[in-house]
Amino acid sequence: MSAGIDLENVCCDFGSFRAVDNANVSIKPGEFFSFLGPSGCGKTTILRMISGFTEPTQGAIRIGGKDVRGLRPNQRPTALIFQNLALFPLMPIWENISFGLEVRGVDKATRRKKAEELLELVELPGAADKMVSQLSGGQKQRVAIARALAVEPAVMLLDEPLSALDLKLRQHMRAELRSIQKRTGVTFIYITHDQGEALAMSDRVGVMSQGRIQQIADPRDIYNNPVNGFVAGFVGENNVFTGSVRNPATGMAGYETKLGTFRARLGELASGENVKLYVRPEHTLLSETAAAENSVPVTISEVSFEGAFIAVHGVAENGQTLVAEIRNDGSATVPANGSQMFMQFDPARAAILPDAAVAKG
Amino acid sequence: MEDLFRRYGHTLTFAFMALVAFWLLALVILPNLTLFEASFRPYLPVTEIGGPKDTYSLDNYAKFLRNPSPWNVFGIELQAPLNVKTFLSTIFYSTIATFITFALSYPLAYYLAKVVQPKSLPTMILLLFIPLWVSEALRAFAWYIILTFNGPLNAVLVGIGLLEKPIRWQQGVLTGYDAVVIGLVYSYVLFMMFPIYGSIQSLDRNQIEASEDLGAKWWQTHWRVILPHAKPGIASGSVMVFMLSAGSLLVPSVLGSTNSNWFTQTIQQWMLESQDWNTGAAYSFLYILLCTVVVALAMWLFKVKLSDIAK
C-alpha cells in the first residue's frame, strides 16, 4: 500500500527564478520524511511537484518506481493535506471524509461506514453529521487527515498542517500524526519550517535552503553533525567562533580565533583553512574558574528563565555574546547579571565547518 | 446619522435627507399608491369620475381571466384566457432566457475568476462592459438588423453555404419568441455573469485543488465544490435576469414576431392605446404579485434562502 518516492535531478523554474535546484532524494516506503527550511526555500514546490499540481522543469519523479510525469493530481496515489486544510464547508463531516470515495463511485452506505471507521481512527467518533464550522482547530485537523486517508493513498503529503494550532495542541498532534503514520504504514512527507516538528516526528529530515537540499540525514545527525553553516545555523542555536586551523594532528587540531586558540575535532580540513566552530548553548558549560582549554571569560549580561532550562548570556572581551544553557534542576547556581564567569566547551562537542560552505543555487 | 452631521454639517445633511425623502415619497411611493388606488376603480369618462358609478371593485383584476381562446401548447389543444396565455408565455420564455444566460455566464465567470492571469483581468472585464455603454434600445435594434431577412446573418450563412435560402429569423425557427430570447440574453447576460464571478472568486483555490487531489474529475469538482459555493451568486443573478426579462418592454417590442406577445406589451396596450390606466394598473400589480410568486416558487424548488441572495 505505501510507496517510496524518488526525486532525480529535479529542477523547477518559475520564469527566471529557480525554485527547486537539482533535488535528489530517495524516500523509502513507510518512511516519515520531512523537508525543513525557511519560507521560500522550495519545500512547498517539491510537495506540489509530487502531488502533481506543478510539473518539474527537469528531472524525474517516481512514486513506487513509476514515473508520474504528466499525471494529474487526481491520477496520482498521493493525498495532500493543505496548510489551511481546505475542508469543504458546505458538506457535513462524513461527506468530507468520503468525498474521495464518492468521486470514485462508491455507494452511499459503504461511504458512510468507511467515514465512521476513519473517524474512530482519528479519535473523533460521533462527529459524522456535524458541519466543519462546528469543529475546533484540532478536530478539523483530524478530519483532514481522515479525508486524506479515505482514498488509501500510497503517500501522504502534509504542508505545514500544524502551523495554525496553539502550542499544546501542536505538540499533541505531533505525537498523534506519528502514531497514525505508524498504524497505517503510509509514507508521510512532511513540510515544515519548525525544526522541533521535523526533528521530533521524522525518520529522516531534508534541510533545504534557496531551492537546494543541503543535507539529508536522521534528526540526530542533522542536529549533531550539520554538513554546513546553513544547517548548523537553521537547526537550533549556536555560539559561533570564526577562525583558522592551526597544527592539525591526529583527529584534533587547534583553532585560532579572536577569543583565543581552541582545541577541537579536526574534520577534513587543511592547515590554515578558514573555519567556523559551532557550539550548542546546551554544550556550553558555565564555571567560575577557567578550565584548561576552550575557556572564554565573559561578563554575564542577561539571564532568561525558559522553564526547563535557563539561558545565560555573557559578553566576551571582543563584544561577542555567547549563550550557555543550564538545566533547571537546581544543580547549578544561577549567576547574577554583571558577574565574571567562564564559558567553556568540550573539544568533542563542536561542529567545525569550512567558512561560508552553503550550497547555493 | 451623527456621522453625517459631523461630516457635512446640519444644512447639507438636512438637504440630502429632504431630497431623498422627496424622491422616495413623491416619485416612488405616491405614484404607486395612486395607481394602486386607481386599479380598483372603473375606467370612466372624465365627467363621471367621482359620480355614482365610481366605486371600488375588483372588476379590473377579474378582466385578467376573460376572453378564453384556443391555445396550442406543444401540440396539445387548450382553452385558456388570452391574458393567462400571454402571462405563462412570458414566464416560460423569461425562464428560458435565464437558463441560457446562466449557461453562458458560468463558464465565463469561472474562467475570469480562477483561470485568467490577474494581469489581463481588467482588459477582459472592460471588453465585457463596452457593449453596456450602448443603450439597450440600440442593442435591440442591432439584433433586429442582424436577424432581418436581408441582414448580415442570412448573408453570411447563405454565403458560406450553410443555408440554401435566407430564413425569417425574427418570425422564429423554433417558436415566435426566438429573437426575443436572443435579445433578452444579450441585454442581461452581465447581470448573471458578475454575481457568479463574485461568488466563484471568493472560493479558496485550495478547495478546488483538494477536490482534484482526492481524485475528482473536473466536472465532479464543479458539481460538488464550485457550483454549491457559487449558488448564492447564481440565485441573485437568476432573480435579476428573470425579473428584468419579464419586465422588459423594449426587447419584445423590437424583436417580437407576429406570434409573440409579452405581458408588458399587454399592459402597455391598456395604458397607452386604450388609455385605460385603471385596468393597466390592475394588470401591473397583478403581474408584480404573480412574478414574485414564481420567483418564490423557484427559490423553494432550488432550496435558496433569501439571505443567500442578499450576500
C-alpha separations of B303 from B231, B232, B307 in Å: 10, 11, 12
For chain B, domains (ranges, CATH) are 33-310 (1.10.3720.10)
Model confidence at A361, pLDDT cuts 50, 70, 90, reads: very low
The per-residue pLDDT of chain A, averaged, comes to 89
User: A154 and A112 share a domain?
Assistant: yes
The domain of A100 spans 5-231
Contact B210 A82 (CB under 8 A): yes
User: A133 and A203 share a domain?
Assistant: yes
User: A161 and A282 share a domain?
Assistant: no
Q: Which of A208, A231, A254 is the last residue of a domain?
A: A231
More confident residue, B1 or A156: A156
Q: CB distance from B305 to chain A under 8 Å?
A: no
Query: Nearest Cα to A244, choosing from A354, A339, A336?
Result: A354
Q: What's the grid cell of residue A147?
A: 479525508
User: A224 and A252 share a domain?
Assistant: no
User: A145 and A62 share a domain?
Assistant: yes
Contact B214 A51 (CB under 8 A): no
Between the two ends of chain B, the Cα-to-Cα distance in Å is: 24
- Nearest C-alpha of chain A: how many angstroms from B254? 44
pLDDT digits (tens, 9 = 90+) for A131-141: 999 999 889 99
User: A318 and A184 share a domain?
Assistant: no
User: A224 and A254 share a domain?
Assistant: no
In a domain, A361, yes or no: no
Whether the CA torsion A236, A242, A244, A245 is positive or negative: it is: negative
In sequence order, what E strands does chain A have? 5-14, 17-27, 32-36, 58-63, 66-67, 78-81, 155-159, 187-192, 204-209, 212-217, 239-246, 252-257, 260-265, 274-279, 284-287, 295-305, 309-316, 321-327, 340-345, 351-354
Q: Which of A205, A231, A257 is the last residue of a domain?
A: A231
Contact A13, A26 (CB under 8 A): no
Residue A231: is it exposed, middle or buried by C-beta count within 10 angstroms (0-12/13-18/19+)?
buried
The DSSP bridge partners found for residue A322 are A314
Measure the CA–CA gap between A130 and B305, rounded to whole angstroms.
21
User: A170 and A265 share a domain?
Assistant: no
In a domain, A360, yes or no: no
Indicate the SS3 state at residue A11: strand
- Nearest C-alpha of chain B: how many angstroms from A105? 10
- A116-130, A221-235, B102-116, B250-264 — most confident range: B102-116
| pLDDT of the residue at A154 | 93
User: A13 and A150 share a domain?
Assistant: yes
Whether A360 shows a pLDDT value over 60: the answer reads no
Question: Could you say which of B207, B212, B215 has the minimum Cβ distance to residue A104?
Answer: B215
Total domain count, chain A? 2
| pLDDT of the residue at A358 | 44
More confident residue, A168 or B228: B228
Which CATH number do you get for residue A312?
2.40.50.140
Within 13 Å, how many C-alpha atoms sit on residue B300's CB side? 6
pLDDT digits (tens, 9 = 90+) for A48-86: 999 999 999 999 999 999 999 889 999 999 999 999 999
In a domain, A304, yes or no: yes
pLDDT digits (tens, 9 = 90+) for A301-351: 999 888 888 999 999 888 889 999 888 887 777 888 888 989 988 888 888
User: A92 and A226 share a domain?
Assistant: yes
Query: Nearest Cα to B246, choosing from B110, B97, B121?
Result: B97
| pLDDT of the residue at A37 | 93
pLDDT digits (tens, 9 = 90+) for A277-298: 889 988 888 888 888 788 888 9
Whether A357 shows a pLDDT value over 70: the answer reads no
Q: Which of A212, A231, A250 is the last residue of a domain?
A: A231
User: A50 and A153 share a domain?
Assistant: yes
The tens-digit pLDDT sequence of chain B (311 residues) is 778 888 888 888 899 999 999 999 999 999 999 999 999 988 888 888 888 888 888 888 988 888 888 877 777 888 888 889 899 999 999 999 999 999 999 999 999 999 999 899 999 999 988 888 888 889 899 999 998 888 888 899 998 988 888 888 887 778 888 899 999 999 999 999 999 999 999 999 999 999 999 999 999 999 999 999 999 999 999 999 999 999 999 999 999 888 889 999 999 999 998 889 999 999 999 999 999 999 999 999 998 888 877 66
Residue B12: how many CB atoms within 10 A of its CB? 12
Contact B225 A80 (CB under 8 A): no
User: A89 and A18 share a domain?
Assistant: yes
In a domain, A31, yes or no: yes
Which CATH number do you get for residue A179?
3.40.50.300
Q: Which chain B residues in 11-70 lie under 8 Å from chain A, judged by CB atoms?
A: none
ipTM comes to: 0.82
| pLDDT of the residue at B90 | 94
Backbone φ and ψ of B229, nearest 5°: -70, -35
Alpha helices in chain B (DSSP H): 2-22, 30-38, 59-62, 82-110, 121-129, 136-147, 152-159, 178-201, 205-213, 218-221, 227-247, 250-255, 263-268, 277-301, 306-310
Q: Pick the residue of B114, B207, B214, B221 with the most A CBs within 10 A to test the interface with A by mutation.
A: B214
